[in-house]
């Protein structure tokens, strides 16, 4: 039962263009969403998050959009840089319950940004 | 400020053996979570420890157990290893319970191979 899904295993974009990574979830109890980035041989690194009371959160080149009715979120990276090439994981939490710190992750999307 | 450190980085065991993985939390963090990441998948929550007590468990059998010590470091123990236990094991720490605790800080992981 995959409660968080990233249906695109990989994405390739040109440097300077926009990268859009998508994530869908099925559990309506999820109320906090995060994106993590992972380089080879390193642990995932927190990138950006959004609470379910918002529909957009922006941090520099990174923006996360949340569509609760569609149970869909997306991460936009503008402009994309070669250093952004990594695996991106979408994660979700039902923080209002007793699951503090328990995240449910998607399968990941490999982003490659070409110079 | 030191980050999350895990040891060993790589480990090879045979089926039926027992293994102990170790983690030192980021300075000031009192909550530790363990995740299993199989090849091509996202991290999957094993359990979390807060103030030396298990505080939430994912869908893993009892042969997966853990400890948290007064200095907030942690161990993950796996008994009766099976081939499917081969994975990257990630330790993550966070500062507090409650809002914001979902922002986990991950170590680089221990790559376990069971032969």
Q: Which range has the worst mean pLDDT, A4-13, A33-42, A94-103?
A: A94-103
Q: From the list A32, A99, A106, which residue is nearest B42 (CB)? A: A106
The per-residue pLDDT for B3 is 87
Q: What percent of chain A has pLDDT over 90?
A: 83
- Taking the Cβ of residue A40 and every Cβ of chain B, the question of whether any pair is shorter than 8 Å is answered with no
Can you list the positions of beta strands (E) in A52-93? 56-59, 62-67, 72-77, 86-93
Nearest to A89 by CA among A41, A48, A60, A57: A48
Cβ–Cβ of A43/B94 closer than 8 Å? no
Mean pLDDT of chain B: 91
Q: How confident is the model at residue B56 (pLDDT cuts 50, 70, 90)?
A: confident
Closest-CA residue of A relative to B94 is: A101
Map tokens 């199989």 to a residue: B38
Q: What percent of chain A has pLDDT over 70?
A: 94
**What distance in Å separates the CA atoms of residue A58 and residue A48, rounded to the nearest whole number?**
8
Cβ–Cβ of A44/B33 closer than 8 Å? no
Q: Which range has the worst mean pLDDT, A39-43, A79-83, A86-90?
A: A39-43
The per-residue pLDDT for B112 is 97
CB A9 within 8 A of CB A107: yes
């Amino acid at each position: 039962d995959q409660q968080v899904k990233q249906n695109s295993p990989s994405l390739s974009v040109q440097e300077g263009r926009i990268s859009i990574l998508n994530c869908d979830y099925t559990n309506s109890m999820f109320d906090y969403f995060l994106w993590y980035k992972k380089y080879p041989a390193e642990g995932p690194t927190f990138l950006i998050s959004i609470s379910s009371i918002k529909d957009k959160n922006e941090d520099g080149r990174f923006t996360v959009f949340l569509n609760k009715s569609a149970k869909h979120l997306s991460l936009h990276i503008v402009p994309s840089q070669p250093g952004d090439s990594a695996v991106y994981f979408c994660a979700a939490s039902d923080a209002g319950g007793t699951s503090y710190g328990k995240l449910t992750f998607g399968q990941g999307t490999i982003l490659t940004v070409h110079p | 400020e030191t980050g999350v450190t895990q040891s060993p980085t790589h480990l090879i065991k045979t089926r039926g053996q027992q293994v102990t993985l170790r983690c030192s939390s980021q300075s000031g963090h009192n909550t530790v979570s363990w995740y299993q990441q199989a090849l091509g998948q996202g991290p999957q929550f094993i359990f979390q420890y807060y103030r030396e007590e298990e505080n939430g468990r994912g869908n893993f059998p009892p042969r997966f157990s853990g400890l948290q010590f007064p200095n907030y470091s942690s161990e993950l123990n796996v008994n009766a290893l099976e081939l499917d236990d081969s994975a990257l094991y990630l330790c993550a720490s966070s500062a507090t319970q409650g809002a914001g605790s979902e922002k986990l800080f991950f170590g680089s992981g221990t790559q376990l191979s069971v032969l």
